Amino acid sequence: MVDKGIERRLCQRFKIPGATVSYRKERFLIAEGRFVEEFCPVLDLSRGGVRFLTQKPLKFKSKVILQVSIPGERIPLNLRGRVRWSTFNAGKSYKYQAGVQFNPYGEDKIQNYPGALVKIIALEQKFLEADGPGSADKPDGMSV
């Protein structure tokens, strides 16, 4: 039985206006090469993964190397992950949406640099506060 109404993700997702992702497929022993696509719009991000728009479908479980560019940040986040899903995005300018789960953070070669997690946590705090309580207009009679 599948519970489609229950959120299974452990990490809170947040939006970063103007963020983009470039990606390439990770090949056996070869992580270098050209990006398959560049500057794909990021729909949301979390400590555990990213959801973005793309023109090409991504193969389920394929390994990818991502470069997430954040407006106002000079250095993009470089992350490794695995495609968890890819779906058709009917009637939109980008044909597909994809979800990538990040590899664990650590010092291993296939793990993501722990400093990337620190940066994502800082971005999470910054952008969740912008969307959270206090950012929207208060109903009449409410004070902060």
**Among candidate residues 27, 35, 23, the one with its CA nearest the CA of residue 86:** 23
CB of 88 closer than 8 Å to CB of 124: no
pLDDT tens readout for residues 105-139: 999 989 999 999 999 999 999 998 766 554 444 33
Q: What is d(CA 104, CA 10) in angstroms, rounded to the nearest whole number?
A: 14
State the CATH architecture for 20-131.
Answer: Beta Barrel (2.40)
Is 19 buried (19+), middle (13-18) or exposed (0-12) by CB count in 10 A?
Answer: buried
Domain ranges of the chain: 20-131
Instruction: Spell 96-124 as b/e; 16+ CB within 10 A means b.
Output: bbbbbebbebeeeeeebeeebbebbeebb
Where helices occur in the chain by DSSP H, the ranges are: 114-131
pLDDT tens readout for residues 33-77: 789 899 999 999 999 999 999 999 999 999 999 999 999 999 999
Q: How far apart are the first and last CA of the chain?
A: 44
